[in-house]
């Protein structure tokens, strides 16, 4: 466990004149209020704030930040209040600790609503003091490092998914890439363990084969720099598993087609030396010109600076090389933390402040999002920094997300222009509304009075504003329909029990029911029934809890028998606490117990269960998604498909079948293909009880001689 003396030593090393008293007092106070509390790992709870403070010390943060890190959980997990912290440690520390503290003691209708409001609170706090989010990142980093102690695989996957969606992008936006990479790789493991293990096995095999090649490239780079009298450090690093996986996914590549598994980094003293080094490398190996990116002349929004070049190296293999100065290297690792060190206290210079204008945008935009799903999705969009710059016909510049379309541009002009958009001209030529814009384009929008947004637009628009306004219009229209349908369904259910729903509305009884479900208005409650997110029976049972006690005799006995039978024939999935709803599994992603899942309400066919990262569920309306989780009291087998790449040998199929048989898994289907290059592909559909069992089978198949890759198959269309 990290000790307070280790942290103090680090602080003294980078700031000998720092006031250590506030750190000592924060440590003593934290130890006292957390006394007796234990982490899931079995360690004293104090180990967590110490680890978080140590991460902040590694980032060379000021003493106030480190004190806040030691205290960051005291308001949430102990009787301490914000007022106590302010009185003892000052308003700066109290503001940070309060900003990091999650919302507790407040009831929310769903977990997503709670997550959204906690994130909203953090965004507002980090606008006042960026140190809030730096401590939150350190807190999340240590929680991810200890995630293995959570016993629930679903809980692990949910925390990891939130990390991928929110915290890793925030780290990237802040330019703190070492935290981004570590968070992504750990989250990748818990969200898609089978894919992580597959990539990891392939990378480890490649490492063995590439060691000599890496040494050759390194030696030749050293020799060239010495010849040019350029003093530099040369580092080589393998790309993270998650980065490799994302590249394979986005470019539809097999692992063998990913050429830049390793990137070399040259660190020099000055900018002119960087350009000289690039010239030397290009004289030695042929550059691929469209791969040259000069982020020194054109820094990224998060302050990142470096020259990237890809060359055709020894043996005709592509090699990616990054060239930067020592200062650029420090900023590339630390990002905004390099500007927020003990030297600068709480004052960010004007230029740095402008680079993080996106925080102000997050704060301004969050007021427009009432729906928690929508808020979370739009925060995710806002966190991705790639942007393009386009022009209006009058020469005004508009900034839009990468791959934005004329519809995004139209909504950036005005909501009415967006809604009435029927066509567009880009650089004088008519283009489809789904056309992807590029930096430098001039756009003219064609409108038709009375035209309305189309649901199809959601498939291609990229900006938060366009998505929000289109959804608002669609939701308003769907809400009217859902309200009418919901009211009809509820009234019918109440009539079956000889009850008058409208009379109960007038009496105020239904107001209490709406409040109990977390709604401020009865209309919202009724609309949710129409959407399929609540059932009329739930409303009836909440409004008249004793209604079923009036049933006697054979009818009541029959109902109890039916309920028992329903539970026995459960699918193993709980949909938002219900087990009396028709559930079926999607064939596009074949979810297994252990996979994070979500439900989609279909019209008249119950709820379809998808994996949370299924590409199809991501395209569907948020209004019809519903929380779902696996039941712990159910064991059943489900079909799963895998693809195995091999080089042929005698007895290979028997060895693979033997591994599957060892896990008592039945083979439903098997087929083989052989390419002209002699690569064998085996496709199996097998029955498994969980994603964990499938991972163990795949892991053992990878150990079979001549097997080069094993992959779980899911349909993406």
Catalytic residues: 76-77
Alpha helices in 420-507 (DSSP H): 464-496, 501-507
By residue count, the chain amounts to: 717
Alpha helices in 310-451 (DSSP H): 326-334, 350-355, 357-366, 372-383, 406-413, 415-419
Instruction: Measure CA 133 to chain center.
Output: 16
Q: Which of 212, 192, 204 is nearest to 238 (CA)?
A: 204
Buried residues in 168-201 as b, exposed as e (16+ CB within 10 A): bbbbbbbbbbebbbbbbbbbbbbbbbbbbbbbbb
Q: Which of 18, 100, 2 is nearest to 64 (CA)?
A: 18
Distance (Å, rounded) from C-alpha 347 to C-alpha 169? Answer: 24
* Number of alpha carbons in the 13 Å side-chain half-sphere of residue 544: 17
Kindly list the distances between the CA atom of residue 7 and the CA atoms of 10, 23, 369, 455, in Å, as whole numbers in the listed order.
Answer: 5, 9, 41, 54
Cβ atoms of residues 348 and 338 within 8 Å: no
Distance (Å, rounded) from C-alpha 431 to C-alpha 717? Answer: 26
Order of strands, sheet of 429-431, starting from the edge strand that comes earlier in the sequence:
429-431, 421-426, 443-447
Give the pairing of strands 597-601 and 667-674: unpaired
Scanning the structure block, which residue is given the tokens 């980093």?
A: 141
Distance (Å, rounded) from C-alpha 133 to C-alpha 120? Answer: 12
DSSP-derived secondary structure for 167-216: IHHHHHHTT-HHHHHHHHHHHHHHHSHHHHHHHHHHHHHHHHHHHHHHHH
DSSP-derived secondary structure for 63-87: HHHHHHHHHTTHHHHSS--HHHHHH
Q: Which of 55, 426, 59 is nearest to 72 (CA)?
A: 55
Scanning the structure block, which residue is given the tokens 């063998």?
A: 256
- Per DSSP, 44 falls in state B
The residues, any chain, with a CB within 8 Å of residue 470's CB and separated by 6 or more, are: 418, 453, 455, 457, 458, 461
Q: Which of 452, 435, 480, 461 is nearest to 377 (CA)?
A: 461
- Per DSSP, 371 falls in state S
Distance (Å, rounded) from C-alpha 629 to C-alpha 209? Answer: 43
Q: Which of 619, 66, 137 is nearest to 341 (CA)?
A: 66
End-to-end CA distance of the chain: 48
Q: Across the chain, how many H-helices and E-strands are there?
A: 30, 20
Scanning the structure block, which residue is given the tokens 């004190």?
A: 67
Cβ atoms of residues 239 and 261 within 8 Å: yes
């Amino acid at each position: 466990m990290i000790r307070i003396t280790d942290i103090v030593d680090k602080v003294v090393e980078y700031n000998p004149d720092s006031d250590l008293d506030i750190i000592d007092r924060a440590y003593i106070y934290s130890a006292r209020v957390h006394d007796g509390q234990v982490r899931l790992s079995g360690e004293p709870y104090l180990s967590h704030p110490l680890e978080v403070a140590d991460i902040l010390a590694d980032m060379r943060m000021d003493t106030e930040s480190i004190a806040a890190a030691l205290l960051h959980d005291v308001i949430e997990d102990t009787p301490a209040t914000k007022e106590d912290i302010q009185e003892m440690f000052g308003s700066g520390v109290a503001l940070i600790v309060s900003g990091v503290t999650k919302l507790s003691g407040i009831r929310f209708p769903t977990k997503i609503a709670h997550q959204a409001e906690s994130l909203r609170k953090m965004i507002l706090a980090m606008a006042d003091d960026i140190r809030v989010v730096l401590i939150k990142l350190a807190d999340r980093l240590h929680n991810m490092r200890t995630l293995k102690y959570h016993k629930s695989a679903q809980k692990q996957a949910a925390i990891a998914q939130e990390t991928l969606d929110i915290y890793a992008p925030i780290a990237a936006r802040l330019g703190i890439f070492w935290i981004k990479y570590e968070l992504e790789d750990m989250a990748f493991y818990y969200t898609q363990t089978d894919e992580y293990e597959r990539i990891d096995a392939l990378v480890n095999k490649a490492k063995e084969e590439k060691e000599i090649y890496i040494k050759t490239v390194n030696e030749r780079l050293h020799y060239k720099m010495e010849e040019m009298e350029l003093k530099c450090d040369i580092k080589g690093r393998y790309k993270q598993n998650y980065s490799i996986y994302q590249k394979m996914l986005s470019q539809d590549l097999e692992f063998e087609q990913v050429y830049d598994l390793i990137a070399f980094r040259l660190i020099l003293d000055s900018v002119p030396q960087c350009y000289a080094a690039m010239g030397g490398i290009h004289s030695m190996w042929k550059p691929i010109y469209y791969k040259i990116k000069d982020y020194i002349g054109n820094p990224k929004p998060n302050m990142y600076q470096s020259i990237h070049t890809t060359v055709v190296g020894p043996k005709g293999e592509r090699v990616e090389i990054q060239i930067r100065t020592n200062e650029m290297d420090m900023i590339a690792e630390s990002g905004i933390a390099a500007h927020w060190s003990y030297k600068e206290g709480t004052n960010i210079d004007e230029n740095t402040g402008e680079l993080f204008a996106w925080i102000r945008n997050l704060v301004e935009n969050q007021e427009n999002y009432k729906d928690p799903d929508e808020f979370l999705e739009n925060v995710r969009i806002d966190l991705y920094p790639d942007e393009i710059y386009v022009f209006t016909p009058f020469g005004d510049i508009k900034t839009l997300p990468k791959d934005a379309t004329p519809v995004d541009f139209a909504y950036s002009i005005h909501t009415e222009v967006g809604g009435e958009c029927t066509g567009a001209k880009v650089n004088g030529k008519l283009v489809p509304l789904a056309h992807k814009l590029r930096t430098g384009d001039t756009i003219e929008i064609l409108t038709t009075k009375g035209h309305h947004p189309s649901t199809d637009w959601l498939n291609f628009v990229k900006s938060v504003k366009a998505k929000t306004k289109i959804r608002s219009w669609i939701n308003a229209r769907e809400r009217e329909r859902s309200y009418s349908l919901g009211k009809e369904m509820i009234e019918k259910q109440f009539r079956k029990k000889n009850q008058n729903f409208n009379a109960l509305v007038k009496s105020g009884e239904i107001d209490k029911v709406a409040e109990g479900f977390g709604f401020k208005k009865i209309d919202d409650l009724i609309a949710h029934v129409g959407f399929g997110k609540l059932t009329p029976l739930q409303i009836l049972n909440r409004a008249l809890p004793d209604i079923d006690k009036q049933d006697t005799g054979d009818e009541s006995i029959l109902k109890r028998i039916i309920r028992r039978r329903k539970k026995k024939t459960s699918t193993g999935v709980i949909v938002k606490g219900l087990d009396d709803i028709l559930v079926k599994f999607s064939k596009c992603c074949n979810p297994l117990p252990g996979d994070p899942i979500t439900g989609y309400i279909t019209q008249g066919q119950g709820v379809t269960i998808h994996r949370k990262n299924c590409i199809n569920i991501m395209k569907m309306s948020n209004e019809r998604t519903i929380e779902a989780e696996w039941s712990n009291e159910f064991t059943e087998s489900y079909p799963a498909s895998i693809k195995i790449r091999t080089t042929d040998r005698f007895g290979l199929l028997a060895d693979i079948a033997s591994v599957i048989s060892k896990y008592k898994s039945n083979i439903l289907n098997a087929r083989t293909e052989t390419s002209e290059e002699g690569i064998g592909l085996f496709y199996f559909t097998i029955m498994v009880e969980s994603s964990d069992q499938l991972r163990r089978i795949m892991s053992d198949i990878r150990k079979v001689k001549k097997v080069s890759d094993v992959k779980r198959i899911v349909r993406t269309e």
